[in-house]
């Protein structure tokens, strides 16, 4: 039911009932519904599609003019026991995945929630496929022998998932209000009773009175103040920044859901954790290295190749063979001062152009794809201050600002390892150790910084995805989904359980919707 009224006619009644907080002069729209979902990203549209599948007609509020949020960018999601895996003879079981997740997080997680998210991950992938999304394969960014073979890549990426789920929800009666950010939760008698939102185009206040509210606003990766407050790794802003989805201005993930829940007593957990991602070229916005022009994508790929990674001192700090395991790289770079340089000589440059990378950049630039755009990468990168070319090692060291003696000694050590085939410092794979020509330039360097995909901390939940207060009691009628959930990750994302965060977003949206419907007695 929807009603459009002018505040002057209803202001006193609504103010008296506590439904709105302050006098306003624009029109006010009132909507009554069973379920309102705040945020139209992966978890929000999944919640809406699940609810409509089960016969409910929810309202979904999205702050921006496009649906999807960060959910437009994943290449794929975790699924255990999917039809696709069965058809392709891939066997992996839920228990092993749960065990791995618990161990990785040193048991500082919510096992009851994690078990549900992993156990349902397969049926979520099947459900998405039933909505019309195609799986284009299972890939891994782990060294092959370590892979769980669970990262299902969506044809067209996860933006197709967003489109199909939204289409399904709309067709089955969901109301989707775009450019309508929720501003606060409405409380009545200590219970959540809906949300107050604003149509950002017209200024109209939108009051959604609902039996249940799901907050799915994507965490706070795009809120610099919260990042500085909660994420110690980002204390030096010059070496770490979020992957802005389009630009710093149009990334909706500003912590709204978490803040709204905190204002009604929600307790947080894991707020310092982010899904770190490194190395990235210091080019803004970093998202362009993910889905922008080839010279940027290939530049990002070249940056992570197993040549020679050095820190500010010109010394190695990591096993370059694991350059695609981006959360490990983030952690190692954090410890090493936040930046790195990858050093190449002409032979390595030519090899990348002729036969392509040795390790992949996600599923974006795959092994063996010739990096034909590399000259343009360097042409642009030299103008932008993150690519360097020099005739001598000394000049390269000068350009990148590391001690020449250290750089030279580090390169000589690599040349020793190339002779023996054994990297005694970091265990780089034999096939990744290539000697440098110490006499003849040119030499090249690419600079890398740390970025992060998303935040992992949020509001604590119970096994029914209800938000909890500081005493551990459920806040009546309030549910959390996606990156607004807290207490699941004690450190970063475990990318061995590949595609977990997008999978958890989808499945948490579905489960939160189911629990909310069950609680209002909706027959499913
Ligand atoms: C570049 C990139 C690549 C990724 N690749 C992968 C991958 O391959 N595999 C994987 O598992 N994960 C991946 N992720 C992570 C994945 O995208 C997230 O885990 C997932 O999108 C989180 O879903 P969500 O619903 O919590 O948030 P989002 O999908 O970000 O959606 C949040 C939505 O809420 C809206 N919103 C915010 N505030 C309000 C408000 N007040 N009112 C109304 N709406 C609001 C936002 O505008 C946004 O649309 C990637 C992330 C990025 C950035």
pLDDT tens digits for range 427-452: 999 999 999 999 999 999 999 999 99
Ligand 1 closest atom vs CA 243 = 53
| Residue 8 pLDDT greater than 50, yes or no | no
Give the integer Cα–Cα distance in Å for 406 and 444: 16
Side-chain-side CA neighbours of 55 within 13 Å: the count stands at 6
Higher pLDDT, 22 or 346: 346
User: Ligand 1 mean position to 242 CA, how many Å?
Assistant: 13
Which residues does residue 240 pair with via DSSP β-bridges, in sequence order? 450
Atom of ligand 1 lying closest to residue 252 CA? 47
Q: Averaged over 114-131, what is the pLDDT?
A: 98
Q: What is the pLDDT of residue 421?
A: 97
pLDDT (mean) for 315-340: 95
d(C-alpha 52, C-alpha 501), whole Å: 23
Kindly report the average pLDDT of the chain as a whole number. Answer: 93
Ligand 1: which atom is nearest the Cα of residue 71? 21
Listed residue (192, 6, 186, 155) closest to 75, CA to CA: 155
Ligand 1 centroid from CA 77, angstroms: 13
pTM to 2 decimal places? 0.93
Residue nearest to atom 13 of ligand 1 (CA): 74
Taking CA atoms only, the protein residue closest to ligand 1 atom 2 is 73
CA distance 499 to 497: 7
Residue 13 CA to ligand 1 centre (angstroms): 37
Compute the distance from residue 349 Cα to the ligand 1 centre, in Å: 36
Rounded to the nearest angstrom, the distance between the alpha carbon of 70 and the centre of ligand 1 is 3
Taking CA atoms only, the protein residue closest to ligand 1 atom 46 is 252
Distance 206 CA to ligand 1 centre (A): 24
Q: Mean per-residue pLDDT for 357-364?
A: 92
Residue 133 clears pLDDT 80, i.e. is over it = yes
Contact of 324 with 342, CB cutoff 8 Å: no
DSSP assignment letter at 469: B
The pLDDT of residue 107 is: 96
Q: Which atom of ligand 1 is nearest to the CA of 75?
A: 8
Q: What domains can be seen in the chain, in order of their start residue?
A: 1-219+255-273+456-524 (3.50.50.60), 277-452 (3.90.700.10)
Peptide bond into 442 cis (omega under 30): yes
Which residue has the CA at smallest separation from atom 18 of ligand 1?
A: 502
Centre of ligand 1 to C-alpha 218, Å, is 5
Question: Of the given ranges (206-220, 389-403, 488-502), which has the lowest mean pLDDT?
Answer: 488-502
> Best mutation site among 38, 71, 210 for ligand 1, i.e. most ligand atoms within 8 A of its Cβ?
71
CA of 455 to the centre of ligand 1 (A): 10
Q: Supply the residue whose CA is at minimum distance from atom 50 of ligand 1.
A: 74
Burial 376-408 (b: 16+ CB within 10 A, else e): ebbebbeeeebbbbbeebebbbeebebeeebbb
Best mutation site among 155, 252, 256, 494 for ligand 1, i.e. most ligand atoms within 8 A of its Cβ?
A: 252
Measuring CA to CA, which residue among 163, 144, 134 is closest to residue 76?
134
Q: Which of these ranges, 75-89, 168-182, 236-250, 306-320, has the smallest mean pLDDT?
A: 236-250
Of the pLDDT bands very low, low, confident and very high (cuts 50, 70, 90), residue 239 is confident
Question: Can you spell out the DSSP letters for 330-359?
Answer: HHHHHHTTS-EEEEEEHHHHHHHHHH--SS
From 501, 504, 510, 513, the mutation candidate for ligand 1 (largest count of ligand atoms within 8 A of CB) is 501
The residue whose CB lies within 8 Å of the most ligand 1 atoms, and thus the one to mutate among 37, 38, 39, is 39
Q: Region 278-282: what's the mean pLDDT? A: 96
Ligand 1 center from residue 40 Cα (angstroms): 9
Ligand 1 pocket (Cβ < 6 Å) reads 38-44, 61-64, 68-71, 73-77, 181-182, 216-218, 243, 252-253, 256, 287, 290, 453-454, 482-483, 499-503, 505
Q: Is 153 helix (H, G, I), strand (E, B) or coil?
A: strand
- When pLDDT is averaged across residues 266-284 and rounded to a whole number, the result is 95
CA atoms within 13 A on the CB side of 459: 34
Determine the distance separating the centroid of ligand 1 and the alpha carbon of 95, expressed in angstroms: 27
CA distance 216 to 207: 18
Residue minimizing CA distance to atom 37 of ligand 1:
217
pLDDT in tens, 175-214: 999 999 999 999 999 999 999 999 999 999 999 999 999 9
Stretch 89-110: mean pLDDT, rounded? 95
Alpha-carbon distance of 200 to 353, in angstroms, equals 48
Q: How far is the CA of 4 from the centre of ligand 1 (A)?
A: 31
Find the 251 Cα to ligand 1 centroid distance in Å. Answer: 9
Q: Has residue 15 got a pLDDT over 60?
A: no
Tell how far the Cα of 275 is from the centroid of ligand 1, in angstroms. 12
């Amino acid at each position: 039911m929807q009603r459009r009224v002018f505040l002057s006619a209803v202001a006193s009644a609504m103010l008296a009932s506590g439904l709105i907080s302050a006098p306003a002069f624009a029109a006010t729209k009132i909507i009554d519904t069973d379920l309102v979902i705040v945020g139209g990203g992966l978890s929000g549209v999944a919640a809406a599609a699940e609810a409509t599948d089960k016969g409910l007609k929810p309202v979904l509020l999205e702050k921006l003019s496009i649906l999807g949020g960060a959910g437009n960018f994943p290449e794929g999601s975790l699924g255990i026991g999917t039809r696709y895996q069965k058809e392709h003879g891939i066997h992996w079981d839920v228990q092993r995945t749960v065990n791995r997740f618990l161990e990785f997080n040193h048991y500082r997680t919510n096992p009851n929630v994690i078990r549900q998210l992993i156990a349902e991950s397969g049926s979520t992938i099947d459900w998405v496929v039933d909505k019309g999304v195609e799986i284009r394969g299972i890939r891994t960014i782990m060294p092959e022998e370590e892979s769980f073979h669970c990262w299902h890549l969506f044809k067209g990426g996860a933006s197709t998932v967003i489109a199909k789920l939204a289409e399904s929800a709309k067709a089955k009666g969901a109301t989707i209000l775009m450019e309508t950010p929720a501003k606060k939760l409405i409380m009545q008698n200590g219970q959540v009773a809906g949300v107050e939102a604003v149509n950002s185009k017209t200024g109209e206040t939108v009051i959604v009175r609902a039996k249940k509210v799901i907050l799915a606003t994507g965490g706070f990766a795009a809120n610099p103040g919260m990042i500085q407050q909660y994420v110690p790794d980002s204390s030096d802003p010059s070496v770490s920044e979020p992957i802005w989805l389009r630009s710093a201005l149009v990334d909706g993930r500003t912590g709204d859901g978490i803040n709204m829940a905190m204002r009604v007593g929600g307790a947080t957990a894991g707020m310092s954790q982010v899904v770190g991602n490194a190395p990235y070229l210091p080019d803004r916005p970093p998202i362009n290295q993910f889905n922008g022009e080839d010279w940027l994508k290939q530049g990002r790929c070249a940056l992570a190749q197993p040549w020679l990674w050095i820190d500010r001192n010109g010394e190695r700090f990591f096993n370059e063979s694991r350059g695609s395991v981006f959360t490990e790289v983030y952690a190692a770079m954090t410890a090493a001062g936040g930046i790195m340089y990858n050093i190449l000589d002409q032979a390595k440059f030519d090899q990348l152009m002729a036969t392509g990378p040795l390790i992949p950049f996600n599923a974006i630039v795959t092994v063996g794809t010739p990096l034909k755009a590399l000259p343009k990468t360097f042409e642009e990168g030299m103008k932008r201050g993150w690519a360097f070319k020099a005739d001598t090692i000394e000049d390269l060291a000068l350009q990148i600002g590391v001690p020449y003696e250290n750089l030279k000694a580090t390169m000589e050590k690599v040349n020793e390892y190339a002779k023996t085939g054994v990297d005694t410092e970091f265990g780089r794979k034999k096939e990744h150790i290539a000697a440098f020509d110490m006499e003849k330039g040119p030499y090249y360097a690419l600079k890398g910084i740390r970025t992060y995909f998303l935040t992992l901390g949020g509001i604590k939940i119970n096994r029914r995805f209800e938000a909890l207060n500081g005493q551990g009691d459920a806040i009546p009628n309030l549910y959390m989904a996606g990156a607004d959930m807290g207490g699941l990750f004690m450190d970063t994302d475990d990318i061995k359980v590949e595609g977990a965060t997008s999978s958890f977003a989808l499945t948490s949206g579905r489960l939160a919707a189911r629990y909310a419907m069950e609680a209002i007695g909706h027959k499913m």
